[in-house]
Chain A
Amino acid sequence: MANILWLQGGACSGNTMSFLNAEEPSACDLVTDFGMNILWHPSLGMELGDNLQQMLRDCVSGKIKLDIFVFEGTVVNAPNGTGEWNRFAGRPMKEWVRELSDAADFVVAIGDCATWGGIPATAPNPSDSQGLQFLKRDHGGFLGKDFKAKSGLPVINIPGCPAHPDWVTQILVAVATGRAGDLTLDDFQRPKTFFQSFTQTGCTRNMHFAYKVSATEFGQRKGCLFYDLGCRGPMTHSPCNRILWNRVSSKTRAGMPCLGCTEPEFPFFDLAPGTVFKTQTVMGVPKDMPEGVDKKGYIKLTGAAKAAAPAWVEQDIFVV
Chain B
Amino acid sequence: MVKGAAVSPEQATVNNELRVRLRDMLEDRLETEVEPRAYDDNTTQSIVVRLQELAPDDYENKLRIAGFTLMPWRAGDEIESACATCMYYVVHRRFCELPELMLPVEPEWSCRLWRI
Contact = CB atoms under 8 A, between A and B. Distances in A.
Interface of A: 212-214, 216-217, 220-223, 227-228, 274-275, 278-286, 295-296, 298-299, 302-303, 306-307, 309, 311, 314-316
A212 B84 CA distance: 11
Given A216-B88, A216-B98, A223-B4, 10 more contacts: A216-B99, A220-B3, A228-B87, A279-B115, A283-B75, A284-B79, A284-B81, A296-B78, A298-B116, A314-B92
Contacts of B55: none
Contacts of A212: 87
A213 B45 CA distance: 22
Interface of B: 2-6, 37-42, 45, 75, 78-79, 81, 84-85, 87-93, 97-99, 114-116
21 contacts: A212-B87, A214-B88, A216-B3, A216-B97, A217-B3, A217-B99, A221-B4, A223-B4, A227-B116, A228-B115, A275-B41, A279-B115, A283-B39, A283-B79, A284-B115, A285-B79, A285-B115, A298-B116, A299-B85, A299-B116, A306-B85
A87 B87 CA distance: 51
B109 to A, nearest CB: 14
Contact of B84 (A213, A220, A281, A306): A306
Which of A275, A278, A311 has the largest number of chain B CB atoms within 10 A? A311
Which of B3, B6, B78, B114 has the largest number of chain A CB atoms within 10 A? B3
B92 A299 contact: no
B85 A303 contact: yes
Contact of A303 (B5, B45, B84, B97): B84
A143 B107 CA distance: 56
A176 B114 CA distance: 53
Contact of B115 (A221, A227, A303): A227
Contacts of A314: 4, 90-93
A283 B4 CA distance: 27
Given A216-B97, A216-B99, A283-B75, A316 B5 contact: yes
Main secondary structure, interface of B, reads loop
Main secondary structure, interface of A, reads loop
Contacts of A298: 116
Nearest to A287: B41
Contacts of A316: 2-5
Contact of B39 (A223, A274, A275, A284): A284
Which of A222, A274, A314 has the largest number of chain B CB atoms within 10 A? A314
A284 B114 contact: yes
Contacts of B98: 216
A283 B84 CA distance: 16
A296 to B, nearest CB: 6
Contact of B3 (A222, A296, A311): A222
Nearest to A221: B4
A278 B4 contact: no
A34 to B, nearest CB: 46
